[in-house]
Amino acid sequence: MEDTAYHSCLESMYRLHRFGIKLGLDTIRAMLSALDNPQTHFKCIHIAGTNGKGSVAAMLSAILNAAGYKVGRYTSPHLERFNERICIDDRPIADDEVIAGCQRVMAIDGLPRQPTFFEFTTAMAFDAFARHQVQWAVIETGMGGRLDATNIVQPRLAVITNISLEHKQYLGKTLPLIAYEKAGIIKPGIAVVSGVRQKSARQVIERQASAQHAELFFWGRDFRTRRRPDAGFNYIGLDHRWSDIQLKLTGEHQVENAALVLAGCELLVKGNHAQITESAIRSGLSNASWPGRLEIARETPYLILDGAHNLMSARVLGRYLTRHLADRHITLVVGILDDKPYHSILKDLITPCERVIVTQPKIDRAIPVERLATIAKAFNPNVIVKKDVAEAVRYALDTTDPQDAICVAGSLYVVGEAKTALSRLSGAQAKSPAAQPTP
């Protein structure tokens, strides 16, 4: 019965997608007021940016957890199950909590307009955090920042990771315009750390921080990192220097994300917002994980899952494959949504690969495989079409030599379906007689 109610709630929420994306705070403010303003019941950290938001959220959550705090985390999208969006101490909320939360939000009436899917889930997340009595919530924006539904919070720290051109129809067609939207999370007197590098974008963030009398600290200017030959790094911070920091998260770009986290921790301690020891920092960073981002799903053949859903992340992944898997033939399993710069994404992803399997996730914004295959062939003629992600993954595994590699990328929706397919394949193998240990 609960399973039926759970799926009924999900269907009701997913139907809200028909209302599209509507930026603004009036509706979410009314929703949260009806729920007794749960966002005022906990301290929070607010994160905006183009890439790295989820990784930063995962690291900050793990550190606060290691420091002894009860922590909520709100991120999007999910990979396999909706519950992943709302976590308490790194564990997704239970199905019965999804049902109860959905029903409480669904009962709200008298709103300025019908809520969007993201507004609905944001209200559910904040309500769940208050009911669980979390001490800290780490909250990732959905899109932009200034008019994002999450921007109803009053954080103790703001983080703006990096900025590139994205969602131009909503956020603006230039870096300064997009930076203006991201900088909208800056609140009066609240410290900000940022990984933004472009001068024009930095200037916008600096103006917004100055207007809000908020201290602003940039990676590379106010704090920096130095990589070590053993894959760790040294941190030269605002008031601290820490050597030999080790990360569980893979990829050179995670060092920059970790630097933002470390500077943020310094500011939380300095502002007497939290008690975080160096031991908690090291423990959190060495244990924080973020699925679907350079995730090693199998060793034989070597299988990497990475969303790489925009141009910047596709370039990062392309460089990683070139540097670290140059001695292997790589098969790329790729599907991309039609609101992305798919020509450029394909070029960066295909360049280091020997073979391409184009596929299509189960979402209406996915580029049809025939169209994607035509584009892919301009970069590599060795293109195979598999319309279903699970079928594409199975085919890649069946036709890739054990010493070679597979990379699944192009969309977090593709990665989510691939993870589910891999779990089912592992389960089927475990149940087969051949997979059972000999008595």
Confidence band, pLDDT 50/70/90 cuts, at residue 376: very high
User: How high is the pLDDT of residue 263?
Assistant: 98
- Both 196 and 77 in a single domain? yes
Distance CA 320, CA 311 (A): 14
Give the CATH number for residue 265. 3.40.1190.10
Mean pLDDT score of the chain: 94
- Both 176 and 34 in a single domain? yes
- What is the domain range of residue 421? 295-435
Distance CA 141, CA 47 (A): 6
Distance CA 129, CA 39 (A): 8
Final residue in a domain of this structure, among 230, 260, 287: 287
- Indicate the pairing of strand 330-334 with strand 405-409: parallel
User: How high is the pLDDT of residue 436?
Assistant: 40
Share of the chain above pLDDT 90, in %: 87
- Both 143 and 268 in a single domain? yes
For the stretch 53-94, pLDDT in tens is 999 999 999 999 999 999 999 999 999 999 999 999 999 999
- Both 258 and 357 in a single domain? no
User: How high is the pLDDT of residue 309?
Assistant: 86
- Both 148 and 235 in a single domain? yes
Least Cα distance to 98 among 204, 5, 227 occurs for: 5
Distance CA 261, CA 55 (A): 10
Tell me: pLDDT of 96 over 70: yes
With residue 330 as reference, give the H or E element that holds it.
Answer: strand 330-334
Report if pTM > 0.75.
Answer: yes
- Both 169 and 225 in a single domain? yes
**Rounded alpha-carbon distances, angstroms, from residue 415 to 49, 333, 336, 400:** 21, 10, 11, 18
Final residue in a domain of this structure, among 232, 265, 287: 287
* DSSP assignment letter at 40: G
Question: Stretch 12-28: mean pLDDT, rounded?
Answer: 89
- Both 253 and 350 in a single domain? no
What is the chain's percent helix, strand, coil content, to nearest 5?
45, 15, 40
- Both 228 and 349 in a single domain? no
Give the CATH number for residue 301. 3.90.190.20
For the stretch 128-173, pLDDT in tens is 999 999 999 999 999 899 999 999 999 999 999 999 877 677 787 8
Final residue in a domain of this structure, among 255, 287, 319: 287
- Both 74 and 164 in a single domain? yes
DSSP 343-405: HHHHHHHHTT-SEEEE---SSTTBPPHHHHHHHHTTT-S-EEE-SSHHHHHHHHHHHS-TTSE
- Both 70 and 92 in a single domain? yes
Helix (H, G, I), strand (E, B) or coil at 131: helix
Amino acid making up residue 434: A
User: How high is the pLDDT of residue 437?
Assistant: 37
In total, how many domains does the chain have?
2
Tell me: pLDDT of 439 over 50: no
For the stretch 192-245, pLDDT in tens is 999 999 999 999 999 999 999 999 999 999 999 999 887 799 999 999 999 999
User: How high is the pLDDT of residue 434?
Assistant: 46
Tell me: pLDDT of 438 over 70: no
Distance CA 420, CA 196 (A): 34
- Both 261 and 315 in a single domain? no
User: How high is the pLDDT of residue 429?
Assistant: 62
- Both 426 and 402 in a single domain? yes
Which stretches within 47-162 are classed as H helix? 53-66, 95-106, 117-132
